[in-house]
Amino acid sequence: MSRTLPSLAVSILMSTLASAAEPALTIYRSDSDSLYEAGSAPVADGHAIVHEQRTLQLAGGKQTVVIDGLPALLDTEAVALDLGGAARVLAQRVVSAGDAGALAAHRGERVQVFAADGRMLADGVLVALDGGMLGVRGDDGRVGYIREFARVAFPQGSGLPGSTLQVALDGKAGAAPASLTYPTAGLGWRAAYSALLLGGDGACKLRLDALASIANRSGRDYSGANLKLIAGAPNFARYDRGPVPMAAKAMIAAAAPEAPPEQSALGDFRSYAIGGSLDLPDASVTQVPLYAGRELACQRRWLVESGGIWFPPKPMLQPENYQGGSGPVSSQLGFTTAENLPSGTLRVLVRDKDGRTELLGENRIGDTAKGREVNVDLGVAFDLAAARERTAFSIDRGARQMDEGFRLTLTNTGETARTITVREHPNRWRTWSLLSSSQKPSKQTPDTLEFQVAVPANGKATLDYAVRYAWTPAEE
């Protein structure tokens, strides 16, 4: 005999409150900016696994249990309810509000509909919503449609917005502990780092502070949650859920635990378990410490780069193919991390003469393992400039050689001397050698030449170099 939810929908209906005691959330890293922007509507980005413990009051025999107040963006195909030996699940259905409003998620639940003067207009199971009308099936099996009403009450449930889980089961009477697990969008986290440059003896030092920004745009609150944050980039197979309209809700602040999370490995990823419990109100971003702040040695760099790592299919002999003129000088910061750094935004700060902390620049960093170097491009330096001109060019086709020379003029209008890294990419052909240079290169590879050029305050410095390309008859 087949069993379907519609045939059981007229049996006993029971709802549990949406707020479970101390739910456990495993939240995965998400770089979606929409999760962290101000707003009240659920966002179909991010990924989390939610574990909730519920207690269901069951009547004996076949019945339908309703669990409401679930997120609007949960994965309907991955909801799992474990009742142990208390009941046998026959079927389950997730009902979402979609574009029909909050009441649509409660189809199949018992409702009471009241007029403005308090009179009860209907008492039965909500079966339909048609514009401004409610379709309610009474105990006699007949459906009545109510257009003008003032209030809808849920005798056995909370009536909270979001999604509703309706479970047809066959079980014993009494209280039954239930473990509910479901994935949902609308939850995500990412790292937020601040690096404060420290003054002192002239050496580059910084204080690195790391926070985890946890966004909840799932459409429901999570109170007293135990949190686990996952760093890495696992694959998620999901369909585009599209926008989900919801009623507006104010942003709510939530206190964070004092101790940094406990870090461990989780397969190929990193897990950060936050001690204690934390409130995650809907439409909020909560920050907790990821690591204790620490001081690190660092390196300030200023870089001017010409060309790129590329070689043509044949020697490029045309004289006009070269890069000249003025170019920007990038301001950069580098340091070696003492901790595993999950992907996030690094904001570099500096104290001005008035004692205020100001932003020097910011950039995204990728997942960085402990002991690796972090390099951040902070922007274009105002006081530094570079001009590049070609000083020589000649071709000896018989000898299959080509010589080319350049001069770079570096200008510093600031009050502090700078050492600028000049990075050149000789790319007319893959076989080349350095003929001469006004100073020894600090780095030379098959596709790169680098020089460290000291430029005095309010002064200039020049760099001259020449390279020779060579090729074979077969390469012409």
Residue 214 · residue 191 · CB < 8 Å: no
Each residue's pLDDT tens digit, 112-156: 889 888 898 889 888 888 777 888 888 888 888 888 888 888 776
Residue 168, CA distances (Å) to 162, 171, 368 in order: 20, 10, 48
Give residue 239's identity as a one-letter amino acid code.
Answer: Y
Distance, CA of 224 to CA of 208 (rounded, Å): 29
Across the strands, what pairs with 394? 403
Residue 414, CA distances (Å) to 54, 62, 150, 459 in order: 65, 81, 71, 9
Average pLDDT, the chain: 85
Residue 12 · residue 64 · CB < 8 Å: yes
Number of neighbours of residue 368 by Cβ within 10 angstroms? 18
Residue 179 · residue 53 · CB < 8 Å: yes
Residue 343, CA distances (Å) to 113, 134, 215, 346, 364 in order: 51, 48, 15, 9, 7
Exposure string (b/e) for 135-165, b if CB count within 10 Å is 16 or more? bbbeeeeeeeebeebeebebeebbbbbbbbb
Q: What is the domain class of 307-332+380-475 according to CATH?
A: mainly beta
Pull the structure tokens for residue 188: 């995500």
Each residue's pLDDT tens digit, 77-100: 899 999 988 889 999 988 876 555
Q: What is the pLDDT of residue 260?
A: 65
Chain-centroid distance of CA 460 in Å reads: 44
Work out the burial of residue 256: count CB atoms within 10 Å of its CB; fewer than 13 is exposed, 13-18 middle, 19 or more buried: middle
Q: What is the pLDDT of residue 337?
A: 94
Low-confidence ranges of the chain (pLDDT < 70): 1-21, 97-102, 104-105, 156-161, 200-201, 234, 236-260, 263-268
Residue 105 · residue 97 · CB < 8 Å: yes
Q: What is the pLDDT of residue 17?
A: 39
Question: What is the three-class DSSP state of 98?
Answer: helix
Handedness of CA 355, 360, 363, 367 (dihedral sign): negative
Domain residue ranges of the chain, discontinuous segments joined by +? 1-109+154-190+223-292, 307-332+380-475
Chain-centroid distance of CA 275 in Å reads: 22
Across the strands, what pairs with 422? 304, 451
Distance, CA of 199 to CA of 222 (rounded, Å): 43
Q: What is the pLDDT of residue 238?
A: 59
Handedness of CA 206, 188, 48, 69 (dihedral sign): positive
Pull the structure tokens for residue 27: 């939240």
**pTM, entire model:** 0.74
Pull the structure tokens for residue 214: 């946890």
Would you say how long the chain is, in residues?
A: 476
Please give the biggest Cα pair distance in the chain: 105
Q: What is the pLDDT of residue 257?
A: 54
Torsion of CA 3, 9, 15, 21, to 10 degrees: 20
Pull the structure tokens for residue 279: 């409130």
Distance, CA of 246 to CA of 24 (rounded, Å): 24
